[in-house]
Amino acid sequence: MYVWGTANPVGESAGYDGMYLTGSEINNMVLDRELHGLPVKIEHMGDNVGTIVSAWQHHGRLELLLNIDDNSPNLSSALASSFVSGNVCKDLSLGYTVAVKQSADGALSTNNKRVVEVSLVKRGARQQCHIHGFFDG
């Protein structure tokens, strides 16, 4: 099964220094193909149920095409397909790491944001990160 959805809303502006991804970070991830082949999970837990096949930006949002391995002997993969087709999991959620640095004067800054997986979730933490469609392929 292939699943298409928005995994991140429009990125934050260039001056932003926080936990969310900036537009520039999203752009670099897409151009460098960093997301291709990363695992898909259900609710950020358990077995991998598929992989990211493609990533692109549309009006600043991060869009993904996922391949759910519904031919796998893994029960989680079959559940993932059912959760998507049954409209149980309606959103996507990125799982990523962020390094936080503290300067000598105590100021905090973030860097080295790295996506490690995307999850099919019932309800995502970020608005507008929905599954838009799916098809068996």
Q: What is the pLDDT of residue 106?
A: 87
Residue 85 covered by a domain: yes
> pLDDT (tens digit, 9 = 90+) per residue, 19-78?
899 999 999 999 999 999 999 999 999 999 999 999 999 999 999 999 999 777 778 888
pLDDT, one tens digit per residue, over 72-99 is 777 888 899 999 999 999 999 999 999 9
Residue 32 contacts residue 111 (beta carbons within 8 Å): no
- Count of domains forming the chain: 1
d(CA 32, CA 133): 25
Prediction pTM value: 0.90
Q: Is residue 134 part of a domain?
A: no
For residue 132, being part of any structural domain is answered with no
Residue 26 lies in a domain: yes
Contact 95, 119 (CB under 8 A): yes
**Domain enclosing residue 86, as ranges:** 2-127
Q: How far apart are CA 99 and CA 68, in angstroms?
A: 30
